[in-house]
Structure 1
Amino acid sequence: MPTSHQYLTSHDLAMIQRVLAKAGFGSSKSEPGVDREAARYLMNQFQDGMTDEAELTRALDHHLWERQNWQSTRTGPVPVRREHRP
């Protein structure tokens, strides 16, 4: 059963920063709001017991993939509702 971590150490934060850097966050090209969301997501995952760097990397990749797919469906063409008439 995963242990819940209430506080993050400097070592934990450095690991989270490495995961963010691998994903391209923290650069001048990244969006500040998305940076914060990704960092918050990783901190929550860590506090919920996911403390392995590789697992955090995979989880962030999956989270970002889901986020991108959700946004593309929201910003894509609006489906036309067709009424079924007998």
Structure 2
Amino acid sequence: MATMNVSLPDGLKDFVELQVGERGYGTSSEYVRDLIRRDQARTQVRGFIVDGMTSGPGPDLDSQYFDGLRSRIRGSEADIA
């Protein structure tokens, strides 16, 4: 694992330490790693959204579409029970 040193103003350092304590992180490094992972996930989701928006028109979202979706969900629930 690589090491990275980050300089923070006192106010941000205090905020990080508060978040570590309140959110149950063991160290400030764990907190920062979690923030970075969440940002990576957001970036990936944004990419998926852009890909979807640029992929062309999708299916009509009419009552028939939602009825089919509900049927698929009900079928999945039956498999779990």
TM-score normalized by structure 2?
0.40
Higher helix share: 2
Larger relative contact order, structure 1 or 2 (CA cutoff 8 Å, min sep 6): 1
Which structure has the larger Rg over C-alpha atoms? 2
TM-score normalized by structure 1?
0.38
